[in-house]
Amino acid sequence: MRAYMPIAALIIVILSSAIVFASVPRSASLLDMAQPFSITGNGATVSISGRVKMPNGRPIKSATIVLKDPDTGEVVRSTLSSSFGYYRLDQIESGRLYVLSVSHKRYLFVFPAQLLEINEDRAGVDFTGEAGDEN
């Protein structure tokens, strides 16, 4: 019975191909039959992680971390920093440029945004903020 399995698979492939071509008009070219698809990066996903802290190293909790597409301004991922100031963004398409920014209602950041080219997992992308004026 096993000797007939490859032949059965070949027959299924041939019949499937015949059905596809039978439904296409004779005047159609290969370009007419081609299905559109998108090539976006290499399909790999990566992560970005880091810490939001004060100059003395104390954590800043509940800071908003936002990852945006610089061309469209679309938010790709966002999260809040933990009670220890750590954050992590996962499932990011590699091979692209992104803007990573931080904000908090009680803290000011000298460098609140970074332009990053992400090709692999990035750890240690930190932000340092100081308490802002409460006026």
Residue 113, helix vs strand vs coil? strand
What does DSSP say about strands 45-53 and 127-131: parallel, antiparallel, or unpaired? parallel
Q: How do residues 8-64 score in pLDDT, each as one tens digit?
A: 443 443 444 444 444 445 555 434 433 433 334 456 899 999 999 999 999 999 999
Determine the Cα–Cα distance for residues 63 and 91; give it in Å rounded to an integer: 20
**Token representation of residue 39:** 């090539």
Alpha carbon of 19 to those of 16, 23, 35: distances in Å? 5, 6, 16
Confirm whether pTM is higher than 0.75: no
What does DSSP say about strands 96-103 and 75-80: parallel, antiparallel, or unpaired? unpaired
Q: Does residue 71 register a pLDDT over 50?
A: yes
